[in-house]
Amino acid sequence: MAVVSWKEMLLLTGLVMGCYWNSLACGFVFDDVSAILDNKDLRPSTPLRNLFLNDFWGTPMAEERSHKSYRPLTVLTFRLNYLFSELSAASYHLLNIVLHGVVCMLFLRVCRLFLDKTFSLLAALLFAVHPIHTEAVTGVVGRAELLSSIFLLAAFLAYTKSTSTDHSIVWPPIALTVVLVAAATLCKEQGITVVGICCVYEVFVAQGFTLPMMLDTVRQVLQGKDGFPYAVLQTLLKLIVLVISTLLLVIVRVQVIQSQLPVFTRFDNPAAVSPTPSRQLTFNYLLPVNAWLLLNPSELCCDWTMGTIPLVESLLDLRNLATVAFYVFLCLLAHYSVFSRHSSAKTVIMALSLIVLPFIPASNLFFPVGFVVAERVLYVPSMGFCVLVAHGFKIVSHKEQLRKISWLLIGVLLTTHAVKTFNRNWDWESEYTLFTSALKVNKNNAKLWNNVGHALENQNNYAMALRYFLQATRVQPDDIGAHMNVGRTYKNLNKSREAEEAYLVAKSLMPQVIPGKKYATRVAPNHLNVYINLANLIRANDSRLEEADQLYRQAISMRPDFKQAYISRQDFLDSLPI
């Protein structure tokens, strides 16, 4: 394995710092608020063991509202940040930049296994500057991706040393691989997919198998003509150890979430609650959408939920052509990589494994997740993409008539990507800049209109906030939260009649209780606040006290564990004249 020289490390470090230094001026935005500002697990007064009992956001794993994202090692780094600088955002951003630099250097070492010195460096440079990474690097919560990637790459590099020169198994690297896989998984769940990457490497690269060779070996064994070669038995033994270790990790992970999947609303991922074939068509269409973001990261958005990507509801939808084209291209690459004995096939199959395997948990293909598209989850898959680009560039640049123009184009690509990344960082400066930049890309997402409204509301600019909240109700008329935002803002503007009207619209959108039947529908606690807010509004009128109390009781009946309803009702009862 070729080592990484200090000059290459300086180049990567300088490039990463050059692209991301302006992120030091950014604050805590979007998910950072829940993960950092509102997360008590960061505070020294919170027992350290709570990090291993709560989810990423500080919510006990046993609670229904838990996101079930178990990333204690990532939260531990947040806690260390807090220990040294409390809530100074710059220190959190600085550590993210450093971690991205470490990932780039490890990625360069991995690339050296499949590409020569020049083109492996090119892949690492492209990875360092790719704009798709701004969410993972500039967004503080993206640290989960960075840490998981470090352990993922380290686990893979350790595994590559598990075979000695005489083809016998070297067990210490395998033991180290298992430990690093566990660490990667404790930073973010997708870290466990490195086991699949190691299996692909072992079969197709280390052992040099092609699919026909594998089938021929199995056929001869089944026909009794030959036994398994010693090298194959060694490979099987290593893979069995990896698979068993992975299964144990999965069992532990399932135990941690108590065999419960997180609860998401239909606004988080509309396709997840759509009927067949709309659900399948949409989820498959999201694959070329993600691929396009890697190819052309020009229109980036911090939130792709709600109406950002309209559902693909028919086989006649032209967007299905993009899905077909994506699968055709993927199949062609896969066919070449598993059937060809050419050395470049090994590069292609490792690139595909880096793209496909880490993306599977976020793909929605096997189980629904709480988002439609998320740029941060492309952090690891982009490694495989960069390897493919560098490999393709190697082929083109070796053609004499294309050499100069290809080097010119790759220089332009690196420069434009670096500039895009630098400019994109400014969008993360504040919640207002982040969500207004998102609205330039997508105006069909009510959540973005709501979030700009919240940012203005925090500045006490209620009149302007109201405009954004009202637009959210127009974009998504059945969004309960948007109508609640309108009602709250009208109340802040001392317009009680308009506030009540907005709350009544929100209340009408709530699932209705059928008299005589047990209420079974899950309701988000924040949506139940519509009853509390409406009751708090009308209780100012002495003639409507009974109506207000009925609203408090209705909230309790819908969710007996909704503590705020009990607190608000008790406060209401205490305020009544004796």
In a domain, 295, yes or no: yes
- Same domain flag for 454 and 334: no
Asked which of 387, 405, 425 is the last residue of a domain, the reply is 425
Regarding whether 521 and 412 lie in a shared domain, the answer is no
Count Cα neighbours of 288 within 13 Å in the Cβ-side half-sphere: 15
Kindly state whether residues 518 and 396 are assigned to the same domain. Answer: no
Return the pLDDT at 520.
43
Q: Do residues 328 and 450 share a domain?
A: no
- Is the same domain home to 519 and 395? no
In 139-229, where does DSSP find H-type helix?
143-159, 171-187, 194-200, 211-222
Residue that is written with structure tokens 């598209």 in the block: 373
**Residue 308: DSSP 8-state:** S
Residue 438 belongs to a domain with what CATH number?
Answer: 1.25.40.10
CA–CA separation, 124 vs 130, rounded Å? 10
Q: Is residue 169 part of a domain?
A: yes
**What Cα–Cα distance (Å) separates residue 138 from each residue in 31, 44, 90, 163, 235?**
12, 25, 10, 39, 41
> Is 536 within the bounds of a domain?
yes
Task: Check residue 521 and give its pLDDT.
Answer: 53
Mean pLDDT by 10-residue block, N- to C-terminus, for the chain (578 residues)? 85 98 97 95 95 92 82 97 96 98 98 95 98 98 98 97 85 96 96 96 92 86 72 86 92 79 75 90 97 96 92 95 98 95 94 97 86 94 98 92 92 98 98 97 95 96 98 95 96 95 94 56 76 90 86 85 81 77
Question: Quick one: 265 and 326 in the same domain?
Answer: yes
376 Cβ neighbours under 8 A, 6+ residues apart: 135, 136, 139, 142, 145
Helix (H) or strand (E) holding 290: helix 278-295
| 366 plus 382 within the same structural domain | yes
Count the domains in the chain. Answer: 2
Domain boundary among 399, 425, 451: 425
257 burial type by CB count under 10 A (0-12 exposed, 13-18 middle, 19+ buried): middle
Rounded-to-integer distance, Cα 420 and Cα 293, Å: 13
User: Does residue 539 fall inside a structural domain?
Assistant: yes
Question: Are residues 472 and 405 part of one domain?
Answer: no
222 and 97 in one domain?
yes
Of 373, 407, 425, the domain-final residue: 425
What domain range is 532 assigned to?
431-575
For residue 27, tell me if it sits in a domain. Answer: yes
Within this chain, do residues 416 and 447 fall inside the same structural domain, yes or no? no
* In-domain check, residue 1: no
Task: Say whether both 225 and 133 belong to one domain.
Answer: yes
The answer on 222 and 99 residing in a single domain is yes
Residue 510's SS3 state is coil
Identify whether 475 is part of a domain: yes
